Amino acid sequence: MNIYKETDIMICRYEAVESIGKESARIKFKKLPATKALSLFYKGAYDEIGEAYSFLMKCVEDNDYHVSGLARECYIDGIWNKKSVDEWLTEIQLPII
């Protein structure tokens, strides 16, 4: 059940690091197992990213792969460093078997 909250919101943010750092109450490190994944770079607005997912799912279907986990989005360029939405760059990683 989802409950709306104004404060104390828990989020998970993943970021590749070169070494495990010092953990705290707010920051935890987790080593993810190696996995095979389809990956693509999508350039453009987030509200149109569904087209990229459709392309990935077609690749899964056409190559008899099976999705083995949740997709990850790595936001490389966005509103924080690019003036045009056409320059926003996201890598999508879809774990497969």
Q: Which helix (H) or strand (E) covers residue 51, if one does? A: helix 50-62
Checking if the pLDDT of 1 tops 80, the result is: no
Which CATH number do you get for residue 74? 3.20.80.10
Residue 33: predicted pLDDT: 85
Number of folded domains in the chain? 1
pLDDT of 17 reads 87
Q: Is residue 13 part of a domain?
A: no
Query: Per the domain annotation, does 58 fall within a domain?
Result: yes
Residue 60 falls inside a structural domain: yes
79: in domain: yes
Cα–Cα distance, 58 to 66 (Å, whole number) = 11
Residue 74, domain member (yes or no): yes
Q: Would you say residue 1 lies in a domain? A: no
In tens, the pLDDT along 7-49 reads 888 777 777 889 999 999 888 898 888 899 999 999 999 999 9
Q: Is residue 21 one of the residues assigned to a domain?
A: no
| Count helices and strands in the chain by DSSP H and E runs | 1, 3
Which pLDDT tens digit goes with each residue over 36-86?
999 999 999 999 999 999 999 999 999 999 999 999 999 999 999 999 999
Q: Is 39 exposed, middle or buried (0-12, 13-18, 19+ CB in 10 A)?
A: exposed
pLDDT at 51: 96
* pLDDT on residue 85: 97
Rounded Cα distance between 45 and 7, Å, is 28
Is the model's pLDDT at 91 over the cut of 80? yes
Residue 79 structural domain: 37-95
> Is the distance from CB of 27 to CB of 15 less than 8 angstroms?
no
Q: Is residue 29 part of a domain?
A: no
